[in-house]
Amino acid sequence: MANKVFKVFIGIGHGGSDPGAVANGLKEKDLNLAIGQACSTELVRHGVNVLVSRTKDENDDLAEEIKECNAFKPDLAIDIHNNAGGGDGAEAYYHYGGGIGKTLAENVLAEIVKIGQNSRGAKIRKNALGKDYYGFIRGTSAPAVIVECAFVDNATDIKIIDTAAEQKKMGIAIAKGILKTLGITYIAEVDDLADIKAKYEAEIKSLTEKNKALQSKIEQIKAIVA
Ligand SMILES: [Zn+2]
């Protein structure tokens, strides 16, 4: 399995004439796109072959998305959404049979919790026929998860995703959950490494000053003894 290039399909929920949930000045289709693109960038940075269902605001119905996903034959598939209906927190749905999809849902939620969002849990949902309720999970061949990041119609819950920086953070959190599921070690961004370097440089400066002070004290004591 050395150097296997994994494939991940990212579905961006809604788009074009279908805005998804709309509330508090936010449209779900826009949030999904920003979060999905950040997720994609992060996966690509880790060598994953990614196919995103849409990269701009356009109509992209679910049947088309499922067709694209199955043709791509990914190792994992995730559909990015945001919620409505007055709840609070993130949740993720997986195939009722469990398996890797369940692991993916749990890993993604664990990372979302780390950025300060609460979790409503990893769940299954069946329709009247006992099959998966959600078409994306029912129709895709790969282990698939639908992640609902936050409730657009909850003025408090949207605070976790109402800026571009926060949408990016959410996308990165989802990517981390995907990478963990694939067994790929997360590598910090170059910006993060620059922060770490700056911290060490400050520590070196502080220790050098302390060392100078001690040296001068030693010289003083030596002068007294001599
Ligand atoms: Zn949606």
Q: What is the pLDDT of residues 130-186, one digit of tens each?
A: 999 999 999 999 999 999 999 999 999 999 999 999 999 999 999 999 999 999 999
Report the percentage of the chain scoring pLDDT > 90: 91
174 and 196 share one domain: no
201 and 156 share one domain: no
Q: What spacing in Å lies between the alpha carbon of 149 and ligand 1's midpoint?
A: 10
pLDDT at 3 over 80: no
165 and 217 share one domain: no
pLDDT at 102 over 90: yes
What does the mean pLDDT of the chain come to?
Answer: 95
Q: What spacing in Å lies between the alpha carbon of 33 and ligand 1's midpoint?
A: 11
Residue range 9-13: average pLDDT?
97
- Per-residue confidence (pLDDT) for residue 193, from 0 to 100: 78
223 and 135 share one domain: no
79 and 21 share one domain: yes
Q: What spacing in Å lies between the alpha carbon of 201 and ligand 1's midpoint?
A: 46
Q: What spacing in Å lies between the alpha carbon of 189 and ligand 1's midpoint?
A: 29
The whole domain housing 103 covers 7-182
Looking at the structure of the chain, the number of domains it has is 2
> CA dist 90 to 65, 180, 193, 207, Å?
23, 19, 29, 44
Residue range 15-19: average pLDDT?
96
Q: What spacing in Å lies between the alpha carbon of 80 and ligand 1's midpoint?
A: 8
CA-angle at 211, arms to 209 and 216, nearest 5°: 100
